[in-house]
Amino acid sequence: MSSPRDTFLRLVNGVCEGPYEDLADLYGEQTHVTHPFHPLNPPPLLSRSELHEHFTGTPPVGRTLNRKPVDVRIHETADPEVIVAEFAYQGRVAETGEEFTVPCVFVMRIRDGLIIESRDYIDHVSSARAWGQLDSLLSALRPQRSATTDGETRQ
């Protein structure tokens, strides 16, 4: 059985190196994964199958990110199942040569070597920039305008 530290390291290294098909196996069958700082407030991922889809789904753009976790600091807590991990994904966009850093903090509950709960605090603006999706993110955050019957526009 993996320690919480080992499970976390397998996750962050696997996100960078693959195989992505195996990443969901690091989670319990039922889990609760949230991204509290995500500007679009997506729903939590609640099962291994949802996480499998999350990890293996097609990226939104045709960019290749060569990345690795850096500055990894893992803090153990009074609860032996809970760790707090500070790190950053650092790398380069293969197609453009652009360098990036995406700071992260994960608060994870890992039981019997499986992640059963995680709050993933990620710099989503830096991540969107690295993936070439910053304009899409900003567009999604803008209020949608709707036309009124008299031709005026309102928010």
Tens digit of pLDDT for each residue in 111-135?
A: 999 999 999 999 999 999 999 888 9
Structure token pair of residue 120: 């993933």
Tens digit of pLDDT for each residue in 8-48?
A: 999 999 999 988 899 999 999 999 999 999 999 999 999 99
The CATH code for residues 4-141 is 3.10.450.50
Helix (H, G, I), strand (E, B) or coil at 99: strand
Percent helix, strand and coil across the chain, each to the nearest 5 = 30, 40, 30
pTM: 0.87
